[in-house]
Structure 1
Amino acid sequence: MSKYLIIGGHGKVALLASELLVHNGHAVASLIRNPDHRAGVEGTGATPLLLDIEQASEEDLARAMEGMDGVVWSAGAGGGNPARTRAVDYEAAVRSMAAAKAAGVSRYVMVSYLNSSLDHGVPEDNSFYHYAQAKAEADEHLRGTGLDYTILGPGALTLEEPTNSITVREIGYEGPSDTSRANVARMIVEVLASPNAIGKTIGFTDGETPIEGLFS
């Protein structure tokens, strides 16, 4: 049994991933900032931990990570507020990476988005710019931390049932990008179990390649 901490634990992807990990025999703790979300997390079999990552210090986060075998970042500010987007999607993410190192947790999975890149090309007057920039900078920072990272870049998220199959997409992909949140959750589970996924950035959409055994 492994122990995992999911940051952003009440998000739809996080809840699905928690349920799968618990079903597979792992212990999961999920960081949430709203106490009203405790029951939802507990319903997956995970243990809710109340901590606002926007305000939490590196030391706060490191304490939450003690004894964990891996960390999953599945948090986000949700857009709409550039300052908060920067505070959560970049600054808090970077603190969580430093905290993982301080806590001795080397495995770190980042849920990003398809085509995340410092060369994203989104103009500054576009409402998506602040998110694109924050995520790209956080992903790039993660690559330089020395952590055993995997960056997952799903396409446009849907609530469709899982197909258990994806297609890997390269940076710059511009085709249909629907990606089931349930497939993203399955990718989280798969990469956590796969040493061959370490050091990889994986853009993907729903597709034809089975997720199970993808990195074997």
Structure 2
Amino acid sequence: MENILVAGANGTTGKKIVDLLKQSQYFNPIAMVRKESQMEQFKAKNIEVLLGDLEQDISNSTQNIDKVIFAAGSGGKKVVEVDQEGAKKLVDASKANNIKKFVMLSSMGADQPEKAEKLKDYLQAKHNADVYLKNSGLNFAIVRPGSLTDNKGIGKIVLSEHLSQEGNISRDDVAQTLVRALNDDVANYKTFEILEGETLIGQALDTVG
């Protein structure tokens, strides 16, 4: 089994990612959280936990880790410190320990933040983090969903390098997409956008092998 570090494990989407990894026969999740008070919920499920604050030194966080999912976010409060610089720190730590793949949860609009009418600072931070990952030399998948909802996942998406429409997608389906993007035979050195759609997630990802 591969050890998967999940940054942002305590977030709404992060918790879904960790649960999916725990159910998998291929992956062993390591939940990275910022506070000691957040650790017990994972330990109670027999999930490994790592204490790591993206605003501090996290250079040791990727030891004995095979792959990384970055699903952390500041909720708009510290977009430079967490969404941008925190991501960069984790990329650096991943390079230092020869991580096999880095899956980044980004956002639609991060390719052209200057065109955004709202959330411009957030999208600029995500853009800068994405570019840093692309230039790192690491194998990566950058996943850019539309607006996230708490609706129950349908297991179907529309996926393209650039989608012409805007729209929504459930956190369930985003989590599923991120976990599937860890696989060795899909989404290597790829950036793509996703929305709720008509194609099964696995089939959609097969198109970005």
TM-score, length basis structure 2: 0.90
Q: 1:42: which partner in 2?
A: 43
Structure 1 unaligned residues grouped into runs of 5+: none
The percentage of counterpart residues that share the same residue type is 28
Amino acid at match of 1:130: D
- SS of residue matched to 1:66: coil
Q: Does the 8 Å contact 2:5/2:62 carry over to 1? A: yes
- Residue 147 in 1 paired to residue 144 in 2? no
Amino acid at match of 2:29: V
Amino acid at match of 1:205: L
Show structure 1 runs of 4+ deviating over 3 A.
42-45, 169-175, 213-216
Q: Does the 8 Å contact 2:54/2:86 carry over to 1? A: yes
Residue in structure 2 matching 1:208, options 182, 192, 198: 198
- SS of residue matched to 2:87: helix
- Higher deviation after alignment, 106-115 or 40-49: 40-49
Counterpart-to-counterpart distance in 2, 1:97 and 1:4: 14
Residue in structure 1 matching 2:123, options 126, 132, 135: 132
Residue in structure 2 matching 1:161, options 142, 152, 155: 152
Q: 1:198: which partner in 2?
A: 188
Q: Does the 8 Å contact 1:109/1:188 carry over to 2? A: yes
Counterpart-to-counterpart distance in 2, 1:210 and 1:174: 19
Counterpart-to-counterpart distance in 2, 1:134 and 1:181: 21
Amino acid at match of 2:12: K
Structure 2 unaligned residues grouped into runs of 5+: none
Alpha-carbon displacement from aligned partner over 1:156-198 (angstroms, at most 9, x marks no partner): 11111111110114536343x1110000111011111242311
- SS of residue matched to 2:42: helix
Alpha-carbon displacement from aligned partner over 1:54-100 (angstroms, at most 9, x marks no partner): 12x2xx33x22111110110001110x3xx21011111111111110
Counterpart-to-counterpart distance in 2, 1:133 and 1:196: 27
Aligned-residue Cα RMSD (Å) equals 1.8
Counterpart-to-counterpart distance in 2, 1:87 and 1:9: 18
- Residue 24 in 1 paired to residue 45 in 2? no
- Residue 115 in 1 paired to residue 115 in 2? no
1:44 and 1:204, CA in 2 relative to 1: closer, same or farther beyond 3 A? farther
TM-score, length basis structure 1: 0.88
In the TM superposition, what is the alpha-carbon distance from 1:117 to its structure 2 partner? 1.1
Residue in structure 2 matching 1:66, options 58, 63, 66: 63
Q: 2:83: which partner in 1?
A: 89
Q: Does the 8 Å contact 1:16/1:182 carry over to 2? A: yes
- SS of residue matched to 1:212: helix
Counterpart-to-counterpart distance in 1, 2:7 and 2:160: 25
Paired residues in the alignment total: 205
The 5-angstrom pairing of residues 163-202 of structure 1 reads 163-171=154-162, 173-175=164-166, 177-202=167-192
Counterpart-to-counterpart distance in 1, 2:99 and 2:68: 8
